Structure 1
Amino acid sequence: MSSPEQLANQILGVWREDGLSWRPRVRWFPRVPPYLDEIFDLLFEPADGDDADAILFSDERRSAPLHNIRDFVGGLQVPMIDLGGRAGDFTDAHFDLMEPRTWAETARRIIKFRQGREALAPQYRHTVDPDIQILAHMYVSGRQLRGMRYPLTPEAVCYPGFFSASTIVPIADRLVLRGFLKKTFFDRLHECRTCRSRRLTVREECPSCRSADLRETSLIHHFHCAVLLPEDQFRQGVALICPKCKRQLRNYGKDYDRPGSAYICNTCDATSSELEVGFICLDCNARMDGEAAERVDLYSYALTDASIAFLEGRAAALDATMPDSLQREIARIHGTANVQAAVAEIRFAGRDELISSHGRSVFERSCDLFLENIRNRLGNAGSLHVGENIAYILAERFDARTEQELRTLVARSEDLLRHKLDARLTIAQRLGRALP
């Protein structure tokens, strides 16, 4: 059996072959385990703060959730190395003293992260801005923000290797609006309107009383009198007697047939050929009709070319409140001689009230209809750009008449909606300059 020194030298030799020529500086999470083998002291050096090459994940709680470990660990620009072997995609590599293949994997991940950090513009290597932290982590790790179904949390989704979904999704959506991320559809779930959990159980329910206590029975069609009723109403002992004309049904195919089935509710005795869909929330026990549960679309996210150029210091930061498309148009117009342009903001003052009373999906559908009508009627008068909770109209030939036309357009688009948004237009910025 090899001594700790011999095994450590063997591992260090593999690391050198893969380009890791130094002892990595590491932090432990959540703590250094009491059973720590002395060999780790020969392989790694302790690090404080951000001065680390990796984080060693030694989880003593074998059944603890993993979706939120990055919320507590920090150090997004260094890899997390799993020592226990259960973390999988939630960490960046697995290291096991008894498995040589993991030695090289660990070295490659540490080197990849270091190369990624060196390619970052210096001002983004130790940023505390959460938006830039996420972008920098995606850049140095080479990972996309890829969604994964995860039933251990109310969100029912997680993004392995990143913050928990409740933290990361608002940031990612904000970065999409800024043009830093692009999103692709991952899944569609339903959400409880009471507690916002997505852990719902689906069940068939009686259309009359919404009970799930149902039994299925065959339908019988009596040819003589054309009655169509559940078999239970024909059955008298072993015989089938028509409840309408009182004749006995003897020959299948001649006297009667069985065209299908129906459901009888054991709670209210109602008979139904089609059932309703209902949901029960597994977190708060709320019951809701299928139409009442809000649909939530989930996405995965990837870096755009613009964000890569930004992280490498080849492009300036964009205004966080305006979409990338509008930023580009403003940059093109701003300062141009003999141009009188303006940016108008459209805010939805009725947003919170509409969401509270009818749900987020109704608000989003109303917004989509409103913006579609604006876009269709705007024509050459301007261009529409949609931001986070705000829509913008860029009018390149702006005067008092144009402003009135825009206000009229907003009012008419609002009038077409069943659920009002209380859309309000203001002139946010004037662009261009007159000739001297």
Structure 2
Amino acid sequence: MSTNSKTSQSANQGASARLKRILITEDSPVTQDILKLVLSTKGHEVHIAHNGKAALKMLLEEPFDLALMDYHLPDLSGAEVVAAFFKERRPDNEPIFIAMTADPDAFNATGTVRDAFVRVFAKPFDFNELLDFMGTLATGAHQPARARREEHAAGVAPSAPVNSPAPNASTADEEYEGTPDRVVSLRARPSGYEHNRPLFWPQDIGPAGFSLGARKHMASGGDYDMVVVSEPARVEDLRHLWSLGDLNLLPIIDETGHLGHKADVDLPKIPRGSAERIVQALVQEFAEARASVHLEVRQSDDLADKLLASLYVRSRKLMPEFSGASPRGFSYNVALTESEVRELTGRLETDRLIEKAFVDRLHGCPACNSVRLNVREECFECHSPNLEETAIIHHFKCAYQGPLQDFKHGSDLVCPKCARELRHFGVDYDKPGNVVSCLACGASSSDTAVGFKCLDCGVHTDGDVISTHDVFNYALTDKGRAFIEEGYIVTGATQNQLKFADLPLDLVIALNKAARDYTESARPFCLVTIGYPQRRIQLSEHGPRLVELSRRQLGENLKNYFGDAVTIRQGTDFDYLLIDRMAAENFRANIETYDEAAQSSLKIDLAPRFSVFGPGELFG
């Protein structure tokens, strides 16, 4: 190894030790992935902010040694974030700021704020150059905090590191973000969870969201294996579980009994001696099931994907439970509202990821959709339910028919038409039917109308126009299970945003170099991903060995076809081609030719799906 290489390696090791926590503020998913991959492999603890507001929040709440800031962001610019940070920060909190921008001239026009940045890197930049500069930071050429620079200049011993607690901060209590008047002790943990990492409601997650302690725990890479509801909670209170990572895939342990079938364990209904054993077994089952969920699905922000993964991990159907407590008359066994479930299941059924089975048909109020209705017989004329049913008397002698009350004369029956007394049933008269009389308006009819009166909003609806909606249960289809285990390729979807977690670092570096060459000399390139939507079927029909050999041969065929112009790497679910001097539109125009070349001499048809990305689609 050369002296320069040893020096660079030593500097990088020093950078990872001194600049441990790094915040990347970048709205491009591709750039996020590349930076995170490169820096993580060098031993840094990397955190991502997708916009300026999120970056400012994280900078004020968490200690960072280095912040890489994109200048152009969708809300606040990088300069605005830094300016706001210096107004609100603690004196001991000042990371080193590095700017990233495709428009250095615009950044240089930001005025005095630019002085807060120790370096500006023009996009796309050389990662080796960035790493080397970080190595110089590790030598002490730049200090992470202004206070440390002043202490160093004065010859005073360095103060506590940035990531140490503030001198007056309490480690026993954490405040909920946004609720400074409410403090809960995170040390006060219920017993029985000594072997687990529980997320408690409302101690760790409450109506205002996650506590600062929970946020810091997750931001530092910590995880949880269950959610414990220790005080009465509504479904809406647990909505935050669906907003961050895959917390929705943790078992919900309800100590209060208020969540009912929306919880995975209703502790009050379990014999005390069996509770710990049942909880431990469930935690283990959930952990094993989560491990089978594809990374793309676990990282998805789409609520439909999260619901699908929840059903998979819980190994159950989405079932309705009928209850008069809900205006809709039922609720599903998941910690989501019924309106959310209705919208999400519609999408998933369309994609054939779930299938439904009929359970019941409910009538609903057209005004408020409540199913809490009073169903009643009522008058056709005035809709009053004040009805009385009486028998019809038919007098044989004069053929007169009328309601019973028309014939009553004291205790006798007397025909109102001919005034003859009716003494014997079947001889003098009979009762051919009944008539319904409205005591409100006096109308009579042989039948009644059916009406519905909403118990929630009071709206009346005729029975012949009342709306109905069917209630179903839902189960994962084979395609749905394959989607959970294999990822988006099962649905035939192409990659809209590249994920570089499976890529070797050398291909990531090569991609960034190609982007620099394109910027400096307009040298074209394209990145092609190859997915295999039929992989699950092929594995069952041909076995993993033949499928894997065919996939490798496909890569060799493309390597032979494109020669030295192509760099090929195989990922977990996709294969990747970086083709030098070829524009994306040229590849798309000849994609059938390249498909034929790729599959020549293969024993099985892999049915590959090509997705092509040019510089603008990758870094725009």
Using the size of structure 1 for normalisation, the TM-score is 0.61
Name the CA distance, whole Å, in 2 between partners of 1:125 and 1:174. Answer: 18
Q: Is the 8 A contact 1:183 1:299 kept in 2?
A: yes
Name the CA distance, whole Å, in 2 between partners of 1:73 and 1:248. Answer: 80
Name the CA distance, whole Å, in 1 between partners of 2:340 and 2:309. Answer: 16
Q: Partner amino acid for 1:318? A: T
SS of the aligned residue for 1:310 comes to helix
Structure-to-structure mapping, 1:76-91, within 5 angstroms? 76-91=248-263
Q: Does 1:59 align with 2:231?
A: yes
Q: Is the 8 A contact 1:191 1:197 kept in 2?
A: yes
1:114 counterpart (259, 269, 287): 287
Q: Is the 8 A contact 1:26 1:53 kept in 2?
A: yes
Per-residue CA deviations over 1:11-36 (Å, capped at 9, x if unaligned) read 68xxxxxxxxx811111123479xxx
| Aligned match of 2:422 | 249
Per-residue CA deviations over 1:147-178 (Å, capped at 9, x if unaligned) read 12122222222102331111111101110001
Name the CA distance, whole Å, in 2 between partners of 1:47 and 1:104. Answer: 27
**Given the superposition, is the C-alpha separation of residues 125 and 32 from structure 1 closer, same or farther in structure 2, using an over 3 Å criterion?**
closer
Per-residue CA deviations over 1:33-54 (Å, capped at 9, x if unaligned) read 9xxxxxxxxxxxx965782110
CA shift for structure 1 position 182: 0.3
2:372 counterpart (186, 199, 203): 199
Name the CA distance, whole Å, in 2 between partners of 1:23 and 1:181. Answer: 35
1:258 counterpart (421, 431, 445): 431
| Aligned match of 1:26 | 198
Q: Partner amino acid for 2:393? A: I
Q: Partner amino acid for 2:410? A: G
**Given the superposition, is the C-alpha separation of residues 228 and 85 from structure 1 closer, same or farther in structure 2, using an over 3 Å criterion?**
same
SS of the aligned residue for 1:316 comes to helix
| Aligned match of 1:220 | 393
| Aligned match of 1:147 | 320
For the aligned residue pairs, the C-alpha RMSD in angstroms reads: 3.1
Name the CA distance, whole Å, in 2 between partners of 1:104 and 1:31. Answer: 24
| Aligned match of 1:71 | 239
Name the CA distance, whole Å, in 1 between partners of 2:314 and 2:271. Answer: 26
**Given the superposition, is the C-alpha separation of residues 200 and 100 from structure 1 closer, same or farther in structure 2, using an over 3 Å criterion?**
same
**Given the superposition, is the C-alpha separation of residues 249 and 82 from structure 1 closer, same or farther in structure 2, using an over 3 Å criterion?**
same
| Aligned match of 2:475 | 302
What count of residue pairs does the alignment treat as equivalent?
Answer: 293
Q: Is the 8 A contact 1:215 1:266 kept in 2?
A: yes
| Aligned match of 1:94 | 266
| Aligned match of 1:161 | 334
**Given the superposition, is the C-alpha separation of residues 305 and 236 from structure 1 closer, same or farther in structure 2, using an over 3 Å criterion?**
same
**Given the superposition, is the C-alpha separation of residues 95 and 213 from structure 1 closer, same or farther in structure 2, using an over 3 Å criterion?**
closer
SS of the aligned residue for 1:170 comes to helix
Q: Is the 8 A contact 2:388 2:436 kept in 1?
A: yes
Q: Is the 8 A contact 1:27 1:47 kept in 2?
A: no
Q: Partner amino acid for 2:239? A: D
Structure-to-structure mapping, 1:315-326, within 5 angstroms? 316-318=489-491
**Given the superposition, is the C-alpha separation of residues 249 and 276 from structure 1 closer, same or farther in structure 2, using an over 3 Å criterion?**
same
Name the CA distance, whole Å, in 2 between partners of 1:47 and 1:142. Answer: 29
Q: Is the 8 A contact 2:263 2:335 kept in 1?
A: no
Q: Is the 8 A contact 1:186 1:299 kept in 2?
A: yes
| Aligned match of 2:442 | 269
Name the CA distance, whole Å, in 2 between partners of 1:265 and 1:271. Answer: 6
1:130 counterpart (289, 303, 311): 303
Q: Is the 8 A contact 2:296 2:487 kept in 1?
A: no
Q: Is the 8 A contact 1:94 1:105 kept in 2?
A: no
Q: Partner amino acid for 1:81? A: I
Q: Is the 8 A contact 1:71 1:164 kept in 2?
A: no
Unmatched 5+ stretches in structure 1 = 1-6, 13-21, 34-45, 321-330, 333-431
CA shift for structure 1 position 310: 1.0
Name the CA distance, whole Å, in 2 between partners of 1:294 and 1:107. Answer: 46
CA shift for structure 1 position 242: 1.2
CA shift for structure 1 position 72: 4.8
1:289 counterpart (446, 459, 462): 462
CA shift for structure 1 position 227: 2.5
CA shift for structure 1 position 138: 0.3
Name the CA distance, whole Å, in 2 between partners of 1:127 and 1:274. Answer: 58
CA shift for structure 1 position 90: 2.0
Q: Is the 8 A contact 2:295 2:487 kept in 1?
A: no
2:402 counterpart (219, 229, 238): 229
Q: Is the 8 A contact 1:150 1:158 kept in 2?
A: yes
Name the CA distance, whole Å, in 1 between partners of 2:444 and 2:267. Answer: 61
CA shift for structure 1 position 118: 0.4
SS of the aligned residue for 2:248 comes to coil
**Given the superposition, is the C-alpha separation of residues 275 and 319 from structure 1 closer, same or farther in structure 2, using an over 3 Å criterion?**
farther
Per-residue CA deviations over 1:248-288 (Å, capped at 9, x if unaligned) read 11112211122332211011111122111000111211101
Q: Is the 8 A contact 2:354 2:480 kept in 1?
A: yes
Query: Which of the pair has the greater relative contact order for Cα pairs under 8 Å at 6+ separation?
Result: 1
CA shift for structure 1 position 188: 0.7
**Given the superposition, is the C-alpha separation of residues 215 and 30 from structure 1 closer, same or farther in structure 2, using an over 3 Å criterion?**
farther
| Aligned match of 1:374 | none
Name the CA distance, whole Å, in 1 between partners of 2:449 and 2:491. Answer: 49
**Given the superposition, is the C-alpha separation of residues 241 and 98 from structure 1 closer, same or farther in structure 2, using an over 3 Å criterion?**
closer
Name the CA distance, whole Å, in 2 between partners of 1:78 and 1:143. Answer: 14
SS of the aligned residue for 1:312 comes to helix
CA shift for structure 1 position 196: 2.2
| Aligned match of 2:354 | 181
CA shift for structure 1 position 208: 1.9
SS of the aligned residue for 2:227 comes to strand
